[in-house]
Amino acid sequence: MNSKQQPTTRKRLETMADHVEDKREEYKELLIQVQSILGEPSLEQEELKEKLSDTYKQMKEYALFVESIEAFIRKMAKESDQQK
């Protein structure tokens, strides 16, 4: 990779990581909302509570997955910068 491509690659990787980070923050907020709903005493239907609980678990797993993608992209950007 030539020196002109390196800054472009790093910038693109950083942009991708920023986008993933934004999505991760959105999911984090949704997780908080779902968790709040699960804690409400007004939920009387056990089936609804179970579905919300399953949804919460899936969203939490997805958030962790997205976080790992973000970390990988940032690592690649840093390595790209160090190869100058």
Token couple for 28: 């984090």
Number of structural domains in the chain: 1
For 44, the domain range is 5-82
Token couple for 7: 């800054």
Distance between CA 19 and CA 16 in Å, rounded?
5
Distance between CA 22 and CA 16 in Å, rounded?
10
47-56 pLDDT, tens digit each = 777 878 888 8
pTM for the full model? 0.54
Task: Give me the pLDDT at residue 84, please.
Answer: 59
Distance between CA 54 and CA 17 in Å, rounded?
28
Q: Is the dihedral of CA 34, 39, 44, 50 positive or negative?
A: positive
